[in-house]
Structure 1
Amino acid sequence: MYEHTYPAKRFQITLDFIEKHLSKSDKILDLGISNPLSNQMLDRGFRVRNTQGEDLDEDFSALLKNDYNVLTAFEIFEHLLNPYTVLKQCSADKIILSVPLRLWFSPAYRSKTDMRDRHYHEFERWQFDWLIEKAGYRIVDRQEWTNPVRKLGIRPLLRFFTPRYYMVYAEKIKG
């Protein structure tokens, strides 16, 4: 069904999930600078505005604008020290978020060359759900998928069966 190359598989699953839950009239704020996935969202007719690379742990100005009703963040929250505050500051009625899941057989990702490219969090499903619910959202749909790698060994074999990514669609609880 999906091409089994990274990131094509992840992009296709994400785009299908977006199309399942959002309409073309939604105004989306996508956390992170413009990227191939946000460009594909634009190509499919979605109204997307990206943040500009500001440190979202320190600068909430993009979140405080009221020109969006959907917040998307694809593999962003694991890089933030405080994703809860980001969710509390946003004004979106709907969110679609994805994160890499914590894998018991692999350490958290940490780039040796880029100090900003590290994971402060690799969530378990229940932790990510709890974060979203504590921020005032009701989870409507979830999806997870594997990310096999073409290498030999026990860990690469486990990646064929163990979900690596987790995505959630949630709506703000009114009241």
Structure 2
Amino acid sequence: MYEGKFPFKRYRLTLEFLKHHIDPTEKILDLGIENPFSKIMRDHGYTIKNTGGEDLDIDTSTLENAEVDVVTAFEIFEHLLSPFTVLQKINSNKLVASVPLRLWFASAYRSKTDMRDRHYHEFEDWQFDWLLEKAGWTIKSRQKWTNPTTKIGIRPLFRWFTPRYYIVYAERV
């Protein structure tokens, strides 16, 4: 169902990782507004609530007051100025989070038309691990995958071999 090119490969692998670590009976707070992957999680039996579009760098009340078993954050931390604060404020003992990895052959993503759609951080795996650990999380599982493209060139060729996405399952220490 979610086969083929981006974003379907990412969705399929993210869903497989989520199913491996999180039971559908657990209530989830998904950071970020309703999105295509929210629907995919619901289609697979997960009960989720998304944040409402508030600026999580400034307003963490949703994180602090949520009565959920798990928080998910799929490609959100790179958009925050202070992911450390958000990670500390999460009121849950389980976290599934993914980030795009920093690519040595491509600059950080920055939309020219939408000021909110920018990557303030693009992590290397060890940097994201360190951030999580410093914020009080213990990583229990991790996975990386590539994002191949059919474009022609040196950078598209590198995308076949260089991991682009990194996902972790972590628990509160």
Task: Provide the TM-score with structure 1 as the length reference.
Answer: 0.96
Partner of 1:157: 157
What is the alpha-carbon root mean square deviation over aligned residues? 0.9
1:55-88 CA distances to partner (integer Å, 9 max, x unpaired)? Answer: 0001111101141121100000000000010010
1:93 lines up with 2:93 in the alignment = yes
1:63 aligns with 2:63: yes
Unaligned runs of 5+ in 2: none
Name the counterpart of 1:26.
26
**1:62–1:42: structure 2 CA closer, same or farther, 3 Å change rule?**
same
Distance in 2 separating the partners of 1:154 and 1:43: 38
Output the CA distance in 1 between the equivalents of 2:92 and 2:149. 35
Letter in 1 for 2:6: Y
Structure 2 CA distance for aligned equivalents of residues 85 and 69 of structure 1? 19
Does the alignment pair 1:36 with 2:39? Answer: no
**Counterpart code for 1:45:** G
Deviation at 1:121, TM superposition (A): 0.1
Structure 1 consecutive aligned stretches of length 4 or more whose deviation exceeds 4 Å:
none
1:82 match: 82
Q: Secondary structure at the match of 2:163?
A: coil
Maintained 8 Å contact 2:67/2:91: no
Structure 1 distance, partners of 2:151, 2:26, is 41
Q: Do the aligned partners of 2:29 and 2:66 also contact (CA within 8 Å) in 1?
A: no
TM superposition shift of 1:3 = 2.7
Paired residues in the alignment total: 172
CA distance in 2, matches of 1:146, 1:37: 19
Q: Which amino acid aligns with 1:42?
A: R
Report if the CA contact (8 A) 2:29-2:71 is conserved: yes
Distance 2:5 2:163 in 1: 15
CA distance in 2, matches of 1:25, 1:104: 40
Give a deviation string over 1:120-148, Cα, whole Å, max 9, x none: 00000000000111111110100100001
| Counterpart Cα distance in 1 of 2:38 and 2:66 | 20
The percent identity for this pair of structures is 62
Using the size of structure 2 for normalisation, the TM-score is 0.97
Corresponding residue for residue 134 of structure 2: 134
1:15 is aligned to 2:15: yes
Cα shift readout 1:11-64 (whole Å, capped 9, x = no counterpart): 000000000001112111000111110111011111100000000001111101
